Amino acid sequence: MRQFLFGNLLTGLISLNVVFAQDADTVVIGRFDPLALRVGFSLNNVLRTIARPNDTFYGFQADLVLGRYMLVAEYGSGELTRNNLPESVDIVNNPYSYQGQGSYFRIGPDVNLLINQAKTSFRADADGIFFGLRFARGQVTDRMTLQTRDDILDVDGNNNAFWPEQTITAQNDNLGVIWFEMTAGMKVQLYRNIFLGYNLRFKLARNFFGNPALIPYEVPGYGFGQSNEQFRFDYYLFYQIPFRKQERQPRRELPFLHLADNELFYVAEVIRR
């Protein structure tokens, strides 16, 4: 699976490198010059909300582009309901119902790795391959009702021989949770100021505040509450608000030819063949 992912990443990287080379309408910018603000929303959350009637999830992201760096703030919320499925067949097949809701924010920097490819002349407010870090804080309110199970068996091999089955409820009220993320991804300009991008996120060091009796099934923005680490993707559609006009330079002929000796270009050629 990981090989598959990294293979895709390499393909994307090379492709985007070529895109960059093709659209070399460049400006010379300072190190932290504010170039643009991108605001966007999570596509997969929208799709999930549409596709799953019991789920309502939203995610928003804003990037302030400062030279090759981006200051990123994210916010999202989610709500879900789960009930036992009639066809459930497993060792813990007990009636239950679960409702959870919560919100989160993330903040952290990204760095555009494409900058180094073009040295002094680039379009930092356009396409990008980035790596970043996030600090995330969320809170969850959830509640689960379940039937208890006693593992002492009776003579017929049935559970609950010692303790009768009981209905119990566990819940969290605004349970706090923090985690960190390492993220990488791409942003591609689809049309004028419209961008499509994805974030590949490795989430780690998940910590609930206190010792919750109920581990949230899903922490909005994080994923499965039981897992200490998560590996996830997010897709975003952005609109970019540029802070200044791009100074167009005379279009060079086949600027990619300058990359003839570039190893990435060579790899792209090899893959194409």
Q: Which residues, 233 to 262, sit near other proteins by CB under 8 A? A: 233, 235, 254, 256-257, 260
CB of 99 to other proteins, least distance (A): 11
- One symbol per residue from 172 to 191: x for binding other proteins (CB under 8 A), - otherwise; what is it? --------------x-x---
> What DSSP state is assigned to residue 88?
-
What minimum distance in Å lies between the beta carbon of 253 and other proteins?
Answer: 11
b/e string for 172-194 if b means 16 or more Cβ within 10 A?
Answer: beebebebbbebbbbbbbeeeee
- Cβ contact 68:99 at 8 Å: no
H or E element at residue 263:
helix 263-272
Q: Judge whether 125 and 240 are in contact, CB under 8 Å.
A: yes
Q: How far is the CB of 7 from other proteins (least distance, A)?
A: 9
What does the angle CA 9 – CA 18 – CA 183 come to, to the nearest 5 degrees?
Answer: 30
Which parts of 18-47 interact with other proteins (CB under 8 A)? 18-19, 21-22, 44
> Applying CB under 8 A, does 207 fall inside the site for other proteins?
no
Least distance from other proteins to the Cβ atom of residue 169, Å? 9
Q: Is the dihedral of CA 69, 70, 71, 72 positive or negative?
A: negative
146, β-bridge pairs: 96, 168
Q: Minimum CB separation from other proteins for residue 239, in Å?
A: 18
With binding defined as CB under 8 A, does residue 212 bind other proteins? yes
CA-nearest of 121, 130, 124 to 258 is 121
Which residue lies nearer to other proteins by CB, 19 or 64?
A: 19
Site string for other proteins, 117-156 (x = CB under 8 A): ---------------------------x-x-xxxxx----
What tokens appear for 68 in the block? 């090759």
Q: For residues 234 and 48, give the distance between their C-alpha atoms in angstroms, rounded to a whole number.
A: 12
Residues of the shown chain interacting with other proteins in the complex, contacts defined by CB under 8 A? 1, 4-5, 8-9, 11-12, 14-16, 18-19, 21-22, 44, 82-85, 88, 90-94, 96, 98, 144, 146, 148-152, 161-163, 166, 168, 170, 186, 188, 196, 198, 200, 211-215, 217, 224-226, 232-233, 235, 254, 256-257, 260, 268-269, 272
